[in-house]
Chains A and B, each alone.
Chain A
Amino acid sequence: MKRTLSKVIYNRGISPSYHLLGLRWEGRIDPGQFFMLRPWSFDRFDPLLNRPFGVYRVFEGGIEILYKVVGRGTRIMTGLKEGDEVILIGPLGRGFPFMEGWEEVSIVSGGVGIAPFYHLIQWIREKGSFPALSLYHGGRGEEDLVGIEEFERAGVTVNIATERGTRGYRGLISDLFKRDLEKGKVRPSAVLSCGPKGMLKEVALICRERGIPCYVSLDRMMGCGIGTCLGCVVRTKGGYQRVCMEGPVFESEEIVWEEL
């Protein structure tokens, strides 16, 4: 069954707004898939709905979620303690593709959008594949640069942009990525991206202009996460599709960006 009562192994802050939550879990997870999590008890109805989260890391007997505090639900989540029980539904949706022929892959992420990619890299390495990997990660400032060292340790070329210019390129990560593409510093066979809507649109456009296949993970408010409520749809060339079932990862050319 894909619905379990899981237990909190640990929950700790790693920066003022980013936290790591370790949960008991066993099974196979494709990179980019997600879980619906209820960080409070079933009979507390405000907030009412479960929250979707990707998987940052998979370890023996558990998963780690990297989360950012953005509202009430994630604030309540910071109060979870070792041993607490939570409803965990998943793994759900369709994750990132990875094709054997890809020699070089660029990842473009913004803020907490970095979350699904550490697991992706773990997974690629475990498969015994060694494409050249570059990460383009952006944020407002230092506070959005979590987990960067782990990517470096995993052999990923890391490029940083901050809007305030406190580290790396000053400005938007999509601009840095575009500049590097123009200079020929990276020549990705495919681009994988997750982050704020504006960034995703920009990355999709950059890839379209150059004919590079691009896959984006979309963030939508979800009612159920399992395909029943039809609340999380996005407009695609083939009509409305559910982010929770047909996504969260879509080929960027499928999305009708003007309506996102």
Chain B
Amino acid sequence: MAVKPQTDAVIIGMGWTGSILAKQLTDAGLNVVALERGPDRHTQPDFAYPRVVDAVEGSIHRKFLQPLNNETVTVRHNRSQAAVPMRRIGSFKPGTGVGGAGTHWSGCHFRAMPDDLRLRSHIEERFGLDLIPDDMLVQDYPFSWEEMEPHFDMFEKVCGTSGRAGVLNGQRREGGNPFEGSRSAEYPLGPNPDYLGSEMFTWAAREAGYNPYPIPASNASASYVNPYGCQMGPCNACGFCSDYGCLNYSKASPNVNILPVLRRRQGFELRANAQVLRINLSEDRSRATGVTYVDLETGEEHEQPAGLVLLCAYQLYNVHLMLLSGIGQPYDPVTGTGTVGRNYAYQNLNALKLHFDENTHHNTFIGIGGAGATIDDLNVGQLDMRDAGFIGGGILWARQPGSGPVRGIDPPPGAPSWGRGWKQGVRQGLLHSCEFEAQTGVMSYRDNYLSLDPTYRDAWGRPMLRMTFNWKPNEAAAGQWYVDKLRALIAPLNPLAVDGEAKAMDESWNTTSYQSTHNTGGAVMAATPEGGALNRYCQSWDVPNVFAPGANAFPQNHGYNPTGLVGALAYWTAEAITGQYLNDPGALVR
């Protein structure tokens, strides 16, 4: 095996967190090698119009998503089952390639709510801890919202996030989210224009007494130059965000918003098509010595020695690499001991489709990925969890990220799914319908967890990551409660028909149909080594030169999309490394 020259830091995965860490660490003078399992990607040629909007390549061949032929995860509902591989992309869509899932996301860019970050304390103060079921693991994040605010702010500035502040320096601002934590700055750009569904939602929400506001979206509403000098063009509403790279330099991505600077740096080396197999540890397992990876172009294995190892892969694969490499103690759901694999959670999305007559033109092929309208009137902080009958929070929203007939159009209820009448239904769904959704958090549970599969192995002979997950009564109740609220909100709009249901109370996790790529947890941040695999700086308690910022660090999932918090965590981690760790390498929390 060839051994590469030592580097200060090796980064595994070149999505949002990897790009942010690489930028901040090279700023501090470190040499950084980034290893990305997928190909390198640039706006030209990879996202160039018109080929990038070929829906066959984007949404059928899934050109920008992880191919599952070499590695996938195994899935099951509970510990009594033998898990089976997720053979086709289904419930979620991990990315691959430079930019990661940050290339094919929609652009919804929320900060967490202050009470999301202190959920256990919030429940204790407002409702009493007896509200928490025995099998539910609710934890506080080991830092305050105020500590994270500068990092939320920085990530928005890097992304050119479009929105409207609701609370700025403690002052309420009209038209924004009145419940948000106090911001130190307005959004970099104003909100995107409203399509019809968003306008309808905003009107209906006001009628219902709520406070609708524009969804913060990292889809640029105007020309923008970020603090790194990277340029964005105004979004042209092309309708190809989710599954696609942006043809227009409008959707924030690592490729557009960070990498143009990084690629020019002396101290930065990017190796694409480099599949990391494991993190290597010293004999006493007290520190990482580097990583072993395969160059997929030659098939050769290499060792990359490094002073710091930064796990910046997709949430699931960060946990996978920790388990494979023996970093921290694997979680045991029977004894409750160990932390790696613990606190896996997900997102609970329930959609209603509103169908209107032929004079109501929703034109759903038009789309701005993250844009739309939402409310926080029912989210954590405002929610009486004891009265509502569940723990967590959630939001109602209208979004129109763009749809097309190859991607699939839902016809109105009662329309035939093939044969005579089918095309008319497709036309109705494409032109005269809109979608409102209820998105809720998912709590962590003792028996929803990640571990190594005993049977299935990937192309490199490694045990696959096994997901043991099912919906719990708490999440089903939350979905039903929010969908009831959404139905009430919709009523004054008088649609011809409303299609869709909340998940039933006994409905199990369907791994085959897409619902959300917001997988969280598995290697979470906690105030003590017993509570999670990482300390408050996303640093491994066990191997202090390993950091793992990402959605894997969420103790449970909130009602929002995770990317805003993921980016902030990466800046927070980078600050801890450059401001503290480099001066005194070792555990930052003792």
A and B from one complex? no
